[in-house]
């Protein structure tokens, strides 16, 4: 087995450097080392009980058992997408890691929820929570331990980013609130949530070298996302802070490098920012094959290796045997492995799981057959592996509601809501089903029929898919409308014959898809290659609207598309964005079209051209065969912040969305609170706790006996032979920690607390959450029907900050004539900037102004903050 030890030499965090000849060509961004890795804090708020239980459990474990908890058993080795070893002696069954952020992946009788992005468009905290709860309950019912979501990376720096839909919004505050509510829901459902991908995973291209090579790019290291300290704090890290505050049990480090150090061994990221500054008490797991070293990643803060093998099905691991050996030979201190095990078990206990009472894993990700190999790749142990447990409960109701309330009414000249239309013609392939079934394409890697989910690991199998054609027809028949549909983008003769008829209301469905990098759909290698509609969508819209004066357009997409050519046509009477709605698609869109439900607001900006966004995917390597370099040189200016800075026109701004009624904003009030001064955190941690002793005799770590049921390609914690050098198969074996690990990496003595951190308070210095001002405004429904308004609070921080930044919002259901109060507490964090010089948050002297409005550009009320 390839050793932790040797590989660590190559790419330890803080040591990683480009070859010298490259350095003179380009000064590469770098990541400062931070050691030792912060250990758990038993007094951390929200974690005390979990920590006490974890301590009781982990204190009983042998070194082998601890290692078994930290290392996956290998790709396709057990039923879940990732599994860590069981501890049968104490009754702990294997822990199951399973995708995805829209439902339980790769099984049956589960629900498919709307994408995170569409859920963000509801701007509704209770729906974000409810969706999370439903997903958590379903995962629990399948025997999952960790549900691999939600997503805040990608945040959405580039609209082409393939996985933006798995996350929420390029605005960090909206994403922060969304991820926190989702996490609370998932974990209340009884499973551990996993905030991913940490961090800077903004594009699919070059995230993994093997994948890139498969596309013909000869690179030897992955992309480096180069993000400066201020941008990191004020933008990309922001939602992860909210995730940590919400008590998230696990975080997944990402594939690509951050400032030229791999995320899963980047000590600045994992040790300093996540565990130090944010006080994260759960565990860090690697993305699948995102681990590149053994000892180096252990001391840089990684706690769990997924799926456990170095590369899929290699039978080798950076950890497993090698982590055992690394502790035995003194390279990795025991306290670090204790801390890994503690963190994993604390997360387990925190969500209410109990040893010996885990829900059995009742599905196999690798097959839908009822009976089959439990150990899939080894083709071993035939048993009933799929129990086909129906976990859906009443979640369809939530799914329908979320997708409808997230759908955005971008334009409406009076065509909507529909009122007993005489003749409805639904047009477009995107209104119908995939002729081969909604799950026909593996991991949804195609765009056939209506688009209700992107592609990749962020998917789940549909239990059914209500197409727009089915949903709208069912609703239309209630009114006695005449109804026809043409479910093709290319049947112009038939389509024109219908939409040219008297009284026709045409609803044209179009889409644009994207997904994860390992699948290429129509030349889109995960990331979209352009922002135009797929399958001739633009021409379809133009053709229909050229002859039908009442043309309504519905867009299913993974982000903004270019509408510039046609959105202003007077024959186009309404445009809706319905995102990726999940299984109830047709019912949800019917609810919005007919006015049964109030729509949402766009969670991203719609630019007039692709270039107008100011950022784009890096599609070609730019550093020879070395790591492609992507400089996030625009800083915090993405999406609306960029458009505002450039003062450029756009089609629809962030936060925009129409309603079927009208609202009046008035009476803005700002009340100043008596928040005390900000005091940076001082003091020290306790020394690293160690839980028990271990034998240093390698003979105690051999495979148990000759009849041990060894499984092919399985990753074990045991040694093959008692000679550690042979057991690790490491040519460099014998070097000690001080030969290659960075200074301080193994130091378990008390450490100074980070200024911006909180003492036993996850989420940073608690004074950042002191309320400085309370802002209120009155919102009146001045129309004749009930409706939801989504008032938004923006702040101008002055100086060189964005023109405005979102800091609060609410979704208020208001009856006609009624008024409701919109209220936001502005915290110190909301008014601070990150100061790289002092390494802390600072409220500077710039004049600050608060705005309340209905979008990022409709800032109806304002007041200066005193
Ligand atoms: C890779 C993806 O990036 C990650 O999001 C997913 O959870 C794992 N694969 C497991 O499928």
Domain locations along the chain = 9-14+46-389+686-739, 396-604, 665-680+760-865
- Quick one: which atom of ligand 1 is closest to the CA of 166? 5
Nearest to 733 by CA among 5, 2, 1: 5
457 lines ligand 1 (CB under 6 A): yes
- Quick one: which atom of ligand 1 is closest to the CA of 100? 7
Residue 475, phi-psi category: left (phi > 0), alpha (psi -120 to 50), beta (remainder): alpha
Query: How crowded is residue 712: how many other Cβ atoms within 10 Å of its Cβ?
Result: 13
CA of 152 to the centre of ligand 1 (A): 14
Contact 163, 454 (CB under 8 A): yes
Task: Give me the pLDDT at residue 690, please.
Answer: 86
CA of 363 to the centre of ligand 1 (A): 18
**How far, in Å, CA of 154 to CA of 196, rounded?**
9
Contact 623, 629 (CB under 8 A): yes
Give the DSSP letter of residue 71.
Answer: B
The H or E element spanning position 864 is strand 861-864
Contact 517, 473 (CB under 8 A): no
| CATH class (in words) of the domain with range 665-680+760-865 | mainly beta
Contacts of 390 (CB under 8 A, 6+ apart): 109
Nearest to 58 by CA among 253, 348, 351: 348
And the tokens for 151?
């997503």
Nearest to 658 by CA among 407, 405, 402, 410: 410
Task: Give me the pLDDT at residue 750, please.
Answer: 98
- Quick one: which atom of ligand 1 is closest to the CA of 456? 2
81 lines ligand 1 (CB under 6 A): yes
CA of 149 to the centre of ligand 1 (A): 9
Question: Residue with the nearest Cα to atom 11 of ligand 1?
Answer: 457
The H or E element spanning position 669 is strand 663-672
Task: Give me the pLDDT at residue 22, please.
Answer: 45
- State the architecture of 396-604 in CATH terms: 3-Layer(aba) Sandwich (3.40)
And the tokens for 144?
């999952």
Q: Which residues, in sequence order, are bridge partners of residue 789?
A: 812
Q: Which residues, in sequence order, are bridge partners of residue 784?
A: none
- Helix ranges restricted to H, 189-237: 209-214, 229-231
CA of 457 to the centre of ligand 1 (A): 6
Contacts of 516 (CB under 8 A, 6+ apart): 162, 163, 204, 443, 455, 456, 457, 458, 526
CATH of domain 9-14+46-389+686-739: 3.20.20.300
**How far, in Å, CA of 797 to CA of 843, rounded?**
9
Query: How crowded is residue 170: how many other Cβ atoms within 10 Å of its Cβ?
Result: 29
**How far, in Å, CA of 851 to CA of 653, rounded?**
16
148 lines ligand 1 (CB under 6 A): yes
Contact 573, 415 (CB under 8 A): yes
Task: Give me the pLDDT at residue 797, please.
Answer: 98
**How far, in Å, CA of 293 to CA of 8, rounded?**
5
Question: Residue with the nearest Cα to atom 1 of ligand 1?
Answer: 288
**How far, in Å, CA of 665 to CA of 851, rounded?**
11
CA of 716 to the centre of ligand 1 (A): 22
Cβ burial of 732 (10 Å; 0-12, 13-18, 19+) is middle
Task: Give me the pLDDT at residue 10, please.
Answer: 29
Could you tell me how many residues make up the chain? 866
User: Ligand 1, residues 96, 148, 312: which to mutate, most atoms within 8 A of Cβ?
Assistant: 148
pTM of the model: 0.96
**How far, in Å, CA of 166 to CA of 164, rounded?**
5
196 lines ligand 1 (CB under 6 A): yes
99 lines ligand 1 (CB under 6 A): yes
Instruction: In the chain, count H helices and then E strands.
Output: 23, 31
The H or E element spanning position 340 is helix 334-350
Question: Residue with the nearest Cα to atom 5 of ligand 1?
Answer: 457
Name the stretches of the chain with pLDDT < 70.
1-26, 736-737
User: Ligand 1, residues 205, 210, 255, 457: which to mutate, most atoms within 8 A of Cβ?
Assistant: 457
And the tokens for 75?
């790709």
Nearest to 654 by CA among 94, 170, 110, 74: 170
Task: Give me the pLDDT at residue 11, please.
Answer: 31
CA of 225 to the centre of ligand 1 (A): 19
Question: Residue with the nearest Cα to atom 9 of ligand 1?
Answer: 288
Please report where in the chains the tokens 């500054």 appear, as a residue: 277
- Quick one: which atom of ligand 1 is closest to the CA of 307? 10
Question: Residue with the nearest Cα to atom 3 of ligand 1?
Answer: 287
288 lines ligand 1 (CB under 6 A): yes
**How far, in Å, CA of 724 to CA of 734, rounded?**
9
CA of 20 to the centre of ligand 1 (A): 34
Q: Could you give the residue numbers annotated as active site?
A: 287
102 lines ligand 1 (CB under 6 A): no
Q: Which residues, in sequence order, are bridge partners of residue 320?
A: none
């Amino acid at each position: 087995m390839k050793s932790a030890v040797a590989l660590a030499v190559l790419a330890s965090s803080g040591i990683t450097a480009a070859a010298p000849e490259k350095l003179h060509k380009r000064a590469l961004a770098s990541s400062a080392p931070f050691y030792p890795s912060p250990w758990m804090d038993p007094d951390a708020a929200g974690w005390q009980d979990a920590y006490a239980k974890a301590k009781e459990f982990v204190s009983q474990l042998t070194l082998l058992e601890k290692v078994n908890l930290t290392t996956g058993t290998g790709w396709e080795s057990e039923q879940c997408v990732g599994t860590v070893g069981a501890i049968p002696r104490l009754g702990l069954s294997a822990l199951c890691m399973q995708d995805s952020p829209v439902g339980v992946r790769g099984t049956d009788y589960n629900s498919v929820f709307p994408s995170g992005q569409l859920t963000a468009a509801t701007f509704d905290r209770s729906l974000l929570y409810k969706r999370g709860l439903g997903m958590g309950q379903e995962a629990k019912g399948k025997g999952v331990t960790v549900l691999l979501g939600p997503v805040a990376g990608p945040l959405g720096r580039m609209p082409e980013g393939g996985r933006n839909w798995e996350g929420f919004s390029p605005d960090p505050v909206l994403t922060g609130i969304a991820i926190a509510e989702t996490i609370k829901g998932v974990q209340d459902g009884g499973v551990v949530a996993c905030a991913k991908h940490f961090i800077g995973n903004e594009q699919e291209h070059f995230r993994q070298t093997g994948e890139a090579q498969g596309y013909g790019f000869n690179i030897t290291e992955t992309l480096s996302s180069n993000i400066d300290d201020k941008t990191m704090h004020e933008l990309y890290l922001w939602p992860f802070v909210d995730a940590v505050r919400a008590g998230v049990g696990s975080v997944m480090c990402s594939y690509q490098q951050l400032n030229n150090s791999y995320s899963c061994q980047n000590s600045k990221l994992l040790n300093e920012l996540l565990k130090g500054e944010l006080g994260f008490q759960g565990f860090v797991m690697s993305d699948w094959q995102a681990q590149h070293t053994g000892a180096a990643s252990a001391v840089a803060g990684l706690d769990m290796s997924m799926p456990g093998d170095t590369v899929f099905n290699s039978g080798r691991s950076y950890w497993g045997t090698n982590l055992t050996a690394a502790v035995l030979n003194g390279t990795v201190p025991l306290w670090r492995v204790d801390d890994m095990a503690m963190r994993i078990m604390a997360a387990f206990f925190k969500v209410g799981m109990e040893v010996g009472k885990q829900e059995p894993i009742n599905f196999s990700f690798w097959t839908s057959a009822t009976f089959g190999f439990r150990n899939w790749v080894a083709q071993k142990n035939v048993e009933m592996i799929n129990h086909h447990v129906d976990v859906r409960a009443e979640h369809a109701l939530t799914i329908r509601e979320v997708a409808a309330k997230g759908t955005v009414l971008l334009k409406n000249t009076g065509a909507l809501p529909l009122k007993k239309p005489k003749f409805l013609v639904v047009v477009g392939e995107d209104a119908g089903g995939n002729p081969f079934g909604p799950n026909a394409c593996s991991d949804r890697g195609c765009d056939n029929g209506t688009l209700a989910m992107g592609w990749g690991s962020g998917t789940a199998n549909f239990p059914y898919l209500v197409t727009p054609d089915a949903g709208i027809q069912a609703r239309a028949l209630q009114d006695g409308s005449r109804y026809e549909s043409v479910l093709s983008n290319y049947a112009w003769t038939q389509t024109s014959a219908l939409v040219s008829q008297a009284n026709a209301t045409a609803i044209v469905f179009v889409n644009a898809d994207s997904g994860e990098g390992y699948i290429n759909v129509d030349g889109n290698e995960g990331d979209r290659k352009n922002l135009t509609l797929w399958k001739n969508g633009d021409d379809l819209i133009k053709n229909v609207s050229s002859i039908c004066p009442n043309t309504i357009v519905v867009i299913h997409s993974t982000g903004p598309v270019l509408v510039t050519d046609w959105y202003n046509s007077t024959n186009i009477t309404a445009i809706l964005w319905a995102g990726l709605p999940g299984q109830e698609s047709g019912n949800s869109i019917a609810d919005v079209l007919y006015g049964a439900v109030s729509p949402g607001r766009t969670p991203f900006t719609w630019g007039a051209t692709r270039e107008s966004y100011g950022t784009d995917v890096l599609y070609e390597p730019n550093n020879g065969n070395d790591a492609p370099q992507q400089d996030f040189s625009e800083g915090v200016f993405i999406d609306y912040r960029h458009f505002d800075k450039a003062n450029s026109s756009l089609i629809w701004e962030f936060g925009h969305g129409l309603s079927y009624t009208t609202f009046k904003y008035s009476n803005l009030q700002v009340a100043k609170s008596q928040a005390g001064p900000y005091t940076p955190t001082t003091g020290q941690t306790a020394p690293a706790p160690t839980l028990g002793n271990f034998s240093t005799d390698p003979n105690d770590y051999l495979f148990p006996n000759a009849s041990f049921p060894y499984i092919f390609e399985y990753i074990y914690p045991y040694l093959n032979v008692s000679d550690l050098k042979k057991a690790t198969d490491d040519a460099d074996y014998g070097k000690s920690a001080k030969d290659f690990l960075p200074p301080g990496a193994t130091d378990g003595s008390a450490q100074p607390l980070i200024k911006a951190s909180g003492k036993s308070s996850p989420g940073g210095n608690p004074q950042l959450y002191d309320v400085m001002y309370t802002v209120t405004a009155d919102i009146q429904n001045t129309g004749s029907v009930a409706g939801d308004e989504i008032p938004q609070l923006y702040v101008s921080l002055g100086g060189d900050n964005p023109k405005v930044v979102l800091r609060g919002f609410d979704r208020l259901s208001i009856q006609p004539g009624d008024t409701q109060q919109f209220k936001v507490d502005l915290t110190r964090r909301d008014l601070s900037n990150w100061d790289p010089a002092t390494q802390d948050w600072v409220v500077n002297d710039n004049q600050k102004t608060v705005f309340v409005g209905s979008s990022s550009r409709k800032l109806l009320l304002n007041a200066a903050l005193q």
